[in-house]
Homo-oligomer: A and B are copies of this chain.
């Protein structure tokens, strides 16, 4: 069933059918009704491939995440999809993993599909401290389609970023812990990504301003996994009175370690996670966590995406918002 069939059945030309389909005001009411009735009766819908061929768009956005099983990414996608659907876009979702080669491959895959724009979720796409993950392939991709980065920053033409002041969030939390009297704060991080790096900078800055030397032993790079962290802390015999983790999972690992060791939380030990994910409410005591405002970041991103796709040229390339600290029982 195509536009010719409808035209024939209605006794009009395909141009008229097309006009009816697009609500053109240059069609008489009677023909419009006649054609609409036939369209409805046959449940006819235009072929998106043919439409796409002409317009070079299928109203589809490509979204890339490293891992959709990660709470943060899932929440982000959930928010993005809802907004995009409301604007008439569909979402192709790719899961690239964290490996540089795979990330590039998945981005190329999306580009081949002629999506209208690309959204990269997570600071893993914004390069890393140690330069093992460069961002050239993203700059290149931006030559073809506008790219929007959630929770990471890359400067470049046709690249739009939305991120949170992670450095400041950690700085503030660290300062508050110091003010409270904590002196040996353990910093747990799972990556050397843009965001992780900035969190660390905020942490170290706060210590320095309080004339405390960051202790290298108390800055630990590990996996974001509950048991990996608790096992690791069990092995090393570290002395610390507070924990800041760059993801809730690691904070829970520290909590497990503390409870097993008989430490009182938060009396003997403050523990603060990051992302304010749903697992914060699962543990006992429940986890205090820095909320990085997924939904807000997503809505700011989509606002600008729509503007860019509408051809506006004064769309800001970088927007930053503040995190919240959500107090629960571990601090």
Identify the A interface with B (CB < 8 A): 45, 47-50, 52-53, 56, 58, 60, 67-69, 71, 74-75, 77-78, 81-82, 85, 90-95, 106, 109, 112-114, 226-227, 252, 256, 259, 278-279, 281-284
Contacts and interface: CB of A to CB of B under 8 A. Distances in A.
Contacts of A279: 278-279, 282
Contacts of A283: 282-284
A78 B90 contact: no
Given A69-B75, A75-B69, A78-B68, A93 B93 contact: yes
A49 to B, nearest CB: 4
Given A68-B68, A68-B74, 16 more contacts: A48-B113, A49-B52, A49-B114, A50-B53, A58-B113, A69-B71, A81-B93, A85-B106, A90-B94, A92-B92, A256-B284, A279-B279, A279-B282, A282-B282, A282-B283, A283-B284
Contacts of A114: 47-49
SS of A interface (majority): helix
A284 B281 contact: no
10 closest A-B pairs by beta carbon, nearest first, are: A49-B52, A49-B53, A93-B93, A282-B282, A69-B74, A74-B74, A69-B78, A279-B282, A81-B95, A226-B281
Nearest to A97: B82
A256 B282 CA distance: 8
A252 B81 contact: no
Contacts of A113: 48, 58, 60, 90
B252 A282 contact: yes
Contacts of A50: 53
Nearest to A56: B49
17 contacts: A45-B112, A47-B53, A48-B113, A49-B52, A60-B92, A68-B68, A68-B74, A68-B81, A69-B78, A77-B95, A81-B94, A85-B106, A85-B109, A226-B281, A226-B282, A227-B281, A252-B282
